[in-house]
Structure 1
Amino acid sequence: MKKVSVVITIIFTLLCASVASAHGPVKGKKNGKIAYKHMTYISETIGTRVMGTEKEKETSEYIQRELRKLGYDVEAQPFTFTRKGNQISSENVIAVKKGKSKKEIIVGAHYDSVATAKGADDNASSVGVILEAAKALKKKKTPHTIKFVLFGAEEGGLNGSTYYLSQMSETEKENTVAMINLDSLVAGDYMYVYGSKEAAKGWVRDQALKVAAKKKLDVTTNPGLNPDYPKGTTGDWSDHAPFEASGIPIAYFEATNWQIGDKDGYTQTVKHGAIWHTEKDNIAFLEKEFPGRIQERLHTFTTVLTELLLNIKKEK
């Protein structure tokens, strides 16, 4: 009986391990851990980061400091804009990783938040992934030069990304292979990557999906259930939009749920609806209601982004 008991125990343990790896927290996976630390610091230690405030400025300084620690030369790109009659100041943070080619890929995410949230999902999660990818790639050869750009004042109307694009010359735009945007990565029920509306410019999305499939990571794309947002595409509500409008191919990473609500990608979860722009957008709530989800999402998106940047090939 003792031998039988031991065999049963072993089988049970293996089954539990299998279930945990398929549905539970990603344990023993290195990717995503650094992103989690950055997300925690930005959303909890700094907290709410409304555009034009000292907290937004503090976040910019934190990002600059962390990139300099990695050995990057960092540039702050200040800008001002008017909103509801008030002049607001913000800035973008830029760091460059030289590649084999002088052709450039912009990897971007905004770092501000709305007033009602700590902004763990929207968008400290993406800043964390970019900072981890920047560390992973620093000493590796990449096919193209990479510009990491963290945008200010996205929540007030894509101000940072719009300004950044406005400062690019036509030569710089032509030299840009793609823009990869990250926004709200950890709360949604499913992980997605979208691409440009023009079929010929959807290749960045397609390569990202191939990377995910090769790594056996559960990333898909918008299924196209809403005719206003065809399969593989998304709306113009995040920092990819100015670049796509200028003709630059884009990819956009996000976690949400296109199968519920108005099927427009806004209703992120079956359990709690939208998380972004609400008081629910904090680590404590997400960990309690969706155990293991943050870790899985950060691991997945960090892995896919890093591998994509290491292997991306511009399609003619």
Structure 2
Amino acid sequence: MRSLQPFTFGLLFSLTSLNVYAQKNVGWEAMVDLASQFSNRVGGTEEEAKAAQWLVKQYQALGYQAQVDEFQFQLGEKTLTTRNLEIEITGQSDDVLIIGAHYDAVPSREGSSGFTDNASGAATLLGIAHNLVGKQPYYTVRLVSFGAEEMGLHGSIHYVNAKAASLTKVIGMINLDTVIGGDNLYIHSAHTVPYACDRYNGIDFNSSKTLRDALLADAANIKTIKYGLHPKTVDYPEGETGEWSDHAPFACQGIPTAYIEATNFTLHGKDGYDGYSQTAESKFWTCYDKTKLGACDRKDEKKWGQIWHTQYDSQAQMIGELKEKITTQFDANVELLSNYVLKKSL
């Protein structure tokens, strides 16, 4: 059963921290709170539902009315419920730019709280919303928080199907998934080889680099950090990515996509140069060899520089000696996207 309505649950949360969110670091503070209060926000669970309600309250505190689309999805023989959240900011143009990020996380049994994956993306949306208060972007902007991404992109697949009629005016989709933590900030386009679009009810695959390259051009104006394209690998041409995140269903609907991700494609990881080793920071390796850009001994390596889906993906592990790096990354992403939507860019 589907519904689209202002989000209301009987459960109430304290809004004592919302005064903080009226300040410059609205997104950063929200990211820390989301990961710490809802560390086990697995798709289809009560904790994910509570996290969704909490996010809606953050938008309300900024003066927005979030719409919530609650829907069911199948996981094996189980029928579970999740929800997408959306706010729309009317622009000078009727053309629509979607910026999306999933807010669910993998189970926290290994210690992960989904801090980088993907409280960072969900909170970036809040930072953008804060920066757009009282302003009119060029394009109409939809900020969308997707549920149950980690369970199989259920939120974004549902969105493109439920919103099919309204996608005709969408000129692009920017996906934010794990946008802090890794060594490098990359901006990807979809792969030139079409995804398996039948699983997304796809109608017209789009691998255009237009949106990616427009963002990269604007990123050159960010003084605090450098954005780039990941280098060519065995499986992926330079700057192109696979279908494992929420951009994929949009690319399969003929919509140009861009995908911001913090990782490191130059590292020789467990399965090669695939970006699944996010960092060369020594604490994330059993033993890191700078000359090899990888493990000292591949047979003995246990950690592989990985953050996502591990015990290291928590605020406790990431804040500390890495705080300066990740705050710089986070602030740069908010600045880049806030400035981008305020001008005609495509």
Whether TM-score is above 0.5 comes out as: yes
Aligned to 1:173: 167
Q: Which has the higher contact order (CA 8 A, sep 6+)?
A: 1
Aligned to 2:143: 148
Distance in structure 2 (CA, Å) of the matches to 1:312 and 1:276: 34
SS of structure 2 residue aligned to 1:292: helix
Distance in structure 2 (CA, Å) of the matches to 1:33 and 1:227: 39
Distance in structure 1 (CA, Å) of the matches to 2:250 and 2:340: 19
Q: Which moved more, 1:46-55 or 1:117-126?
A: 46-55
Unaligned runs of 5+ residues in structure 1 are: 1-29
Q: TM-score, normalised by structure 2?
A: 0.78
Q: CA deviation at 1:249?
A: 0.3
Aligned to 1:183: 177
Residue 81 (str. 1) matches residue 73 (str. 2):
yes
Check the 8 A contact 2:179/2:260 in 1, yes or no.
yes
Higher helix share: 1
Cα RMSD of the aligned pairs, angstroms, is 1.8
Q: CA deviation at 1:61?
A: 0.3
User: Which residue, 198, 213, 221 being the options, matches 2:220?
Assistant: 213
SS of structure 1 residue aligned to 2:26: helix
Call closer, same or farther: CA 1:52–1:200 in 2, change over 3 Å: closer
Residue 229 (str. 1) matches residue 244 (str. 2):
no
Check the 8 A contact 1:195/1:250 in 2, yes or no.
yes
SS of structure 2 residue aligned to 1:150: strand
Distance in structure 2 (CA, Å) of the matches to 1:148 and 1:48: 23
Check the 8 A contact 2:26/2:130 in 1, yes or no.
no
- Corresponding letter in the other structure for 1:221: L
When Rg is computed on C-alpha atoms for both structures, the one with the higher figure is 1
Aligned to 2:153: 158
Aligned to 2:117: 122
Check the 8 A contact 1:112/1:123 in 2, yes or no.
yes
Residue 68 (str. 1) matches residue 76 (str. 2):
no
Distance in structure 2 (CA, Å) of the matches to 1:112 and 1:196: 23
Q: Which moved more, 1:228-237 or 1:32-41?
A: 32-41
- Corresponding letter in the other structure for 1:268: Q
Per-residue CA deviation, residues 173-226 of structure 1 (Å, 9 max, x unaligned), is 2210100110111210111111234597211111111111122331111122x1
Per-residue CA deviation, residues 240-271 of structure 1 (Å, 9 max, x unaligned), is 01001111001111100011122111111123
- Corresponding letter in the other structure for 2:50: E
Q: CA deviation at 1:31?
A: 9.7
Identity %: 34
Per-residue CA deviation, residues 277-311 of structure 1 (Å, 9 max, x unaligned), is 01111112112352412211111111111111112
User: Which residue, 83, 95, 107 being the options, matches 2:99?
Assistant: 107
Distance in structure 1 (CA, Å) of the matches to 2:24 and 2:149: 24
Please give the residue correspondences for 1:263-302 in structure 2 after superposition, counting only pairs within 5 Å.
Answer: 263-271=273-281, 272=284, 273-302=305-334
SS of structure 1 residue aligned to 2:319: helix
Check the 8 A contact 1:42/1:124 in 2, yes or no.
yes
Q: CA deviation at 1:227?
A: 3.3
Per-residue CA deviation, residues 127-160 of structure 1 (Å, 9 max, x unaligned), is 1111010111131121111111100000000000
Q: CA deviation at 1:110?
A: 0.3
- Corresponding letter in the other structure for 1:114: V
- Corresponding letter in the other structure for 1:128: A
Distance in structure 1 (CA, Å) of the matches to 2:23 and 2:173: 22
- Runs of at least 4 residues of structure 1 off by over 4 A? none
Unaligned runs of 5+ residues in structure 2 are: 1-21, 193-205, 285-304
Residue 194 (str. 1) matches residue 184 (str. 2):
no
